[in-house]
Chain A
Amino acid sequence: MDDPQTSAYQPVIGLEIHVQLSTRSKVFATEAFAFGGEPNTYVSPISLAHPGALPSLNQACIEQVVKLGLATHCQIDRQGYFARKNYFYPDLPKGYQLSQDQRPICYEGQVEVLQSDGSLKRVSLERIHLEEDAGKSIHDLDPEESLIDLNRAGTGLAEVVTRPDLRSAEEAGALLAEMRRLVRYIGVSDANMEQGNLRCDANVSIMPVGAEAYGTRVEIKNLNSITHLMRAIEHEIARQVRTVESGGTIVQETRTWDPVSQQTLPMRGKEMAADYRYFPEPDLLPLDLSEDLLHDLAASLPELPQARFQRYVAAGIPVNESFTLIEQRAFSDYFEALQRQSGDPKTAANWLLGPVRTYLNAEGIEIADFPVPPQAIAALMALVEEGQVSLPAAREQVFPALIAAPETAPQALAQRLEVMMESQAGELASAMAALMAAHPDEVARFRAGKKQLHGFFVGQLMRQFRGKADPKEVNEVVRQKLTAS
């Protein structure tokens, strides 16, 4: 946004985020669903819209949408109901999508978006409703025909609609990252963008800086990664600024993002305004959710990632490290256990983001596959803390040994590796006395002012103890002996 032309305009952005719910069966149909299954193998007469097939609502989907609503501070409409959204498309066999119109389950929520500098940006949510996904159309395998796979048809989606509160591509990217983290933490979705279980549309407009009325908005469809979302918004803002600056007007339309040419393109065939003719779904009874259910679901929510982040920063862990710690639930859970058992969040963070993460990256594995339990790392941290093993020895020798033998106590490994520090001050003191007797000249020169000879004695002692003495302790003994008159 360095371009002075661009900086004369304020972008205004809202997102529609589709979250595929991680249930065992579909939302209105009873069959299972698995990503990557052979085409048309997860299909029932309900998904096929065979005559007489009726929808059957999955309780888990309701519970997940309510959980998502509670985690985003939404009002919950306990008497919501479903509606038909009518349109024809080959991957929608019924000719309508089961969705919600007037009474979404969740409305008027908000998300505090954690930005990369650690600051928070509040984004209001208009609604979260439950709907079914369509099947999948494949257009690029055959020149003459489109191929339809109905495995995904009828799977549960939560659609999160934000208010136009976002002001830059970065903020939009941060919101999507926040939502991805949140839905994973509360366990309502895998939110894997490559697999399409988190998808996003963006509404983008511009207005002169300082203006209050929003400009005409353009909807960009099907943004399937955070990078694509941000690039698409940046380019759409630039396109709108160019259009307005050259005397044109922005047309309300739907565009797609083409990652190859790095531009948004208009979607043809949408000239006719969509007319979905919503009406209440007669095949499904309305909801009547009890206070008890809402209560139980609220109680089932884990600590949210942002609360953890705030706690970590308060414990003195730097912002960027706190960010990394909360990014994945499993990693954050490991850290929680480690900091609880060690009682030292900062050092725990250093271990986890240092040697542990380096190991995970090198092996290409996730924390779930890390063989060493948190209590073993905590025990190793304690050995360092108590001065029994030096930090370098702990990192370079005991830690790899621990990975090879996760069941063995770190202390036993340290003994086997002969890296336990001989921390008896008495032994060090007598060794120092002998050293001073052997080097009277150096002692005299030190006392005459040549202070760097301190290092000479430290080095001699460390060599004698073959690195197994605590450097802090050695330093202290040397200082005391040399300065004693």
Chain B
Amino acid sequence: MTSTPTLESSEGNRTFACMHLSDELLDRLATLARLEVAPDQREHLRADLQRMLDFVAQLREVDTEGIEPLIHPTEGANALRPDEPAGRLRPDQVLRNAPKSDGSYFRVPKVVDKEGQDL
């Protein structure tokens, strides 16, 4: 069984360097993003993504040995708010931009079948 190409998910992983954006990987990314990529868009998209990967590969060349990972670019921590409820929207405002709703719920194409299983 051939393994599905994955974008390594754990932080700090170094496998991006010189990664080639194969057809398989493009398909997988499209599936993860729930996008349908038209055939005539593929080359443009692939070139775009490849440039991003190359850029990251360039960053990867910097020696970061022994340097604390930078989790957030700005200084500071603990931006916490007190537990006090603030404003909420009216249901008609909540649903205003939905492609489809019934005044109470968003309505979306069926995502699971009758038995509660994912389609």
Contacts and interface: CB of A to CB of B under 8 A. Distances in A.
A258 B119 contact: no
Contacts of B71: 81, 280, 286
Interface stretch (A147-155, A404-412, A451-459): A147-155
A102 B117 CA distance: 30
Contact of B7 (A145, A147, A277): A277
Query: On chain A, which size bracket covers the interface?
Result: 35 or more
Contacts of A32: 85, 88
Contacts of B87: 30-31, 44
Contact of A139 (B78, B79, B116): B116
A314 interface: no
A265 B118 CA distance: 12
A284 B76 CA distance: 10
Contact of A40 (B28, B73, B77, B91): B91
A139 B9 CA distance: 31
A273 B4 contact: yes
A147 B112 CA distance: 11
A269 B94 contact: no
B86 interface: yes
- Interface-central residue, B81, B88, B102, by most chain A CB under 10 Å: B88
A39 interface: yes
B72 interface: yes
Interface stretch (B29-37, B38-46, B47-55, B59-67): B29-37
- Interface-central residue, A25, A149, A279, A288, by most chain B CB under 10 Å: A25
Given A144-B110, A280-B71, A282-B72, A275 B9 contact: yes
17 contacts: A24-B84, A30-B87, A31-B85, A31-B88, A40-B106, A41-B88, A43-B94, A44-B87, A58-B81, A90-B106, A138-B105, A146-B107, A265-B115, A269-B118, A282-B72, A288-B78, A289-B78
Interface of A: 23-25, 30-32, 38-45, 48, 56-62, 79, 81, 83, 86-90, 101-102, 137-140, 142, 144-150, 256, 258, 265, 267-270, 272-273, 275-280, 282, 284-289
